Amino acid sequence: MSSLSYARHQFPPAIIQHAIWLYLRFTLSYRDVEDLLAERGIDVSYETVRRWVVKFGLAIAGNLRRLRPKPSPRWHLDEMVIRVSGRLMYLWRAVDDEGEVLEMLVQRRRDKAAARKLMRKLLKKHGFFPTQVTTDKLRSYGAAFREIGLAAHHEQGLRQNNRAEVSHQPIRRRERKMQRFKSPGPAQRFVSMHAAAYNTFNLQRHLISRRTLRTFRARAMTEWKAAIMAA
């Protein structure tokens, strides 16, 4: 993992780290984070919070990803329409059968080339081939799989890809809070940071006991503290 340097900042690392955690963990705007810090007597502008997230967010997300266990070999792929600077684009997403977000990729098209790019990024990032891939009935997936030689079982059909469909919801909430994405670059940066934080703190609390929830929550915070460790 890479250590982060908080040198030459006016505020101590603990405040910077807490502001970034608030923004990535909850559906908040930069102004919301500013107000929450102000309630604690910390006078910091929302623009400063934005700069902290831009500067440290991707490095923290990278550290969080390195701490995650190997995902399941059963993947679900899907694409959703987003509006970036008034233009329709597509957010291609991959999750495993346990809800772990594997990749998010903002692209202009919904074709074979876009599907192929997503798969190649997935294979390079995780280093293994899936045993099963579930998608909707978009034919671009099958064409891309044949081109790259993917031999995994390809599932398609109504309601078989509900796992990927449900994973739309956190991004949709953030998109509404941000009043849509402003440009493709920042949109890609945000979804990458959001996915790493979401994976860490998505505890599936409706499936576990209160005691187990406390254990998982403590483990998530331990991973977060390791990821934001100063140099």
Buried b (16+ CB within 10 A) or exposed e, 66-94: ebeeebbebbbbbbbebebeeeebbbbbb
Residues 113-166 pLDDT 10s: 999 999 999 999 999 999 999 999 999 999 999 999 999 999 997 678 888 888
Query: In the prediction, which pLDDT does 85 show?
Result: 85
Nearest residue to 196 via CA among 71, 96, 102, 94: 102
Question: Which residue is it, tokens 């495993």?
Answer: 96
Whether residue 13 is predicted with pLDDT greater than 90 in this model: the reply is yes
Query: In the prediction, which pLDDT does 40 show?
Result: 94
Residues 72-85 pLDDT 10s: 999 999 999 998 88
Residues 32-64 pLDDT 10s: 999 999 999 999 999 999 999 999 999 999 999
Residue 61 and residue 224: Cα distance in Å, rounded?
9
Whether residue 2 is predicted with pLDDT greater than 80 in this model: the reply is no
Report the CATH architecture of 74-182: 2-Layer Sandwich (3.30)
Query: In the prediction, which pLDDT does 67 show?
Result: 93
Contact indicator for 197, 25 with CB cutoff of 8 Å: yes
Name every residue whose Cβ is closer than 8 Å to that of residue 179 and which is 6 or more positions away in sequence.
Answer: none
> Is the pTM value of this prediction over 0.85?
yes
Name every residue whose Cβ is closer than 8 Å to that of residue 214 and which is 6 or more positions away in sequence.
Answer: none
Whether residue 199 is predicted with pLDDT greater than 60 in this model: the reply is yes
Query: In the prediction, which pLDDT does 178 show?
Result: 85
Q: Are strands 132-135 and 74-84 parallel, antiparallel or unpaired?
A: parallel
**Eight-state DSSP code of residue 3:** P
Residue 81 and residue 75: Cα distance in Å, rounded?
20
Nearest residue to 82 via CA among 194, 157, 7, 2: 194
Q: Where are the domains of the chain?
A: 1-67+183-231, 74-182
Q: Using DSSP, state whether 101 is helix, strand or coil.
A: strand
Contact indicator for 144, 105 with CB cutoff of 8 Å: no
Residue 56 and residue 16: Cα distance in Å, rounded?
9
Query: In the prediction, which pLDDT does 177 show?
Result: 87
Average pLDDT of the chain? 92
Residue 17 and residue 6: Cα distance in Å, rounded?
10
**And the tokens for 81?**
């329409």
Confidence of residue 169 (pLDDT cuts 50, 70, 90): confident
Return the percentage of the chain with pLDDT > 90, whole number: 74
Whether residue 231 is predicted with pLDDT greater than 70 in this model: the reply is no
Residue 178 and residue 28: Cα distance in Å, rounded?
9
Query: In the prediction, which pLDDT does 208 show?
Result: 84
Residue 132 and residue 126: Cα distance in Å, rounded?
15
Displacement of CA 78 from its chain's centroid (Å): 14
